[in-house]
């Protein structure tokens, strides 16, 4: 009878000990599932961008060793007399965009979009800078004769991709894409860290390798960069 009572007292105690362990396993399972989900989603979103930025990181690092031959294309046209006359009322010195009618003519005659772009206007000419990724460009309009000259220089696909890496002359949409891509990369890295934390017990080399990944750039920066 005494032994039975003792067993009855032990059983609830052992059940109570199992509950915290079960709760801990449940929490671990929940976080594993969440981290795995967000890790692969962020990986899928940022995969192509990460490859692009990794490859262009190499090409940027070796930019001086990669030959690039600029290709320049020039075209000319003459502003119609009515539009040239309209420019006589345009300010002698300003940075305001050209009149809409002149911008439409440029788009039709030269296939060059200058609507809304700032100008460098003098009494002699109107100059519009047209920088592009991997190249440069400009358009000038002679205010006396109406002669318009457009020049565009490109330096190849590597220069183009390098400028995308830097966000140079790539426009507003690319500007925001870089921000979204960066957020996806941060999520990918943080969820990877969480997964490392949860699996580290069974993989003893996890934290030494992570510490090495931090230590190498720090040592290089402290010793070799002056």
CA 140 to chain CA centroid, nearest Å = 32
Of the candidates 121, 122, 139, which has an alpha carbon nearest to the alpha carbon of residue 130? 139
- Among the listed ranges 8-22, 69-83, 113-127, 163-177, which one has the minimum average pLDDT value? 8-22
Residue 87, SS3 per DSSP: helix
How confident is the model at residue 23, as a pLDDT? 63
How confident is the model at residue 32, as a pLDDT? 85
Instruction: Tell me the two tokens of residue 189.
Output: 């890295």
Which stretches of 19-121 are assigned E, i.e. beta strand? 71-78, 120-121
Q: Partners of 141 in the beta sheet?
A: 126, 148
Q: How confident is the model at residue 199 (pLDDT cuts 50, 70, 90)?
A: confident
CA 8 to chain CA centroid, nearest Å = 65
With a cut of 60, say whether residue 169 has pLDDT above it.
Answer: yes
Q: How confident is the model at residue 30 (pLDDT cuts 50, 70, 90)?
A: confident
With a cut of 60, say whether residue 13 has pLDDT above it.
Answer: no
Q: Phi then psi for 148, rounded to 5 degrees?
A: -110, 130
Q: How confident is the model at residue 29 (pLDDT cuts 50, 70, 90)?
A: confident
| Residue in this structure with the two tokens 């990877």, named with its chain if needed | 192
Q: Judging by DSSP bridges, how do beta strands 120-121 and 71-78 pair with one another?
A: unpaired
Q: Counting Cβ atoms within 10 Å, is residue 219 exposed (0-12), middle (13-18) or buried (19+)?
A: exposed
Task: In whole angstroms, give the CA distance from residue 26 to residue 42.
Answer: 24
Q: Counting Cβ atoms within 10 Å, is residue 79 exposed (0-12), middle (13-18) or buried (19+)?
A: buried
Q: Phi then psi for 118, rounded to 5 degrees?
A: -65, 155
Instruction: Tell me the two tokens of residue 87.
Output: 């420019």
Q: How confident is the model at residue 202 (pLDDT cuts 50, 70, 90)?
A: confident
Q: Partners of 71 in the beta sheet?
A: 154
pTM given for the model: 0.79
* Burial state string for 6-34 with b = 16 or more CB within 10 A and e = fewer than 16: eeeeeeeeeeeeeeeeeeeeeeeeeeeee
With a cut of 70, say whether residue 17 has pLDDT above it.
Answer: no
Q: Express as a percent the part of the chain with pLDDT over 70.
A: 88
């Amino acid at each position: 009878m005494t032994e039975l009572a003792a067993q009855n007292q032990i059983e609830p105690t052992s059940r109570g000990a199992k509950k915290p362990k079960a709760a801990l396993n449940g929490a671990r399972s929940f976080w594993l599932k969440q981290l795995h989900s967000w890790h692969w989603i962020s990986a899928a979103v940022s995969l192509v961008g990460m490859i692009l930025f990794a490859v262009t990181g190499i090409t940027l690092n070796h930019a001086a060793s990669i030959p690039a031959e600029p290709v320049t294309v020039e075209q000319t046209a003459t502003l119609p007399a009515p539009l040239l006359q309209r420019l006589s009322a345009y300010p002698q010195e300003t940075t305001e965009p050209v009149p809409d009618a002149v911008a439409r003519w440029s788009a039709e005659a030269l296939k060059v979009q200058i609507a809304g772009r700032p100008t460098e206007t003098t009494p002699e000419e109107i100059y519009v800078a047209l920088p592009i990724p991997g190249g440069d460009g400009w358009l000038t309009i002679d205010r006396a004769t109406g002669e318009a000259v457009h020049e565009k220089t490109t330096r190849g696909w590597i220069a183009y991709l390098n400028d995308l890496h830097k966000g140079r002359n790539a426009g507003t949409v690319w500007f925001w894409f870089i921000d979204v891509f960066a957020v996806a990369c941060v999520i990918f890295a943080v969820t990877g860290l969480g997964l490392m934390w949860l699996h580290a017990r069974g993989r003893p080399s996890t934290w030494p390798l992570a510490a090495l990944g931090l230590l190498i750039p720090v040592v290089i920066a402290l010793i070799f960069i002056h």
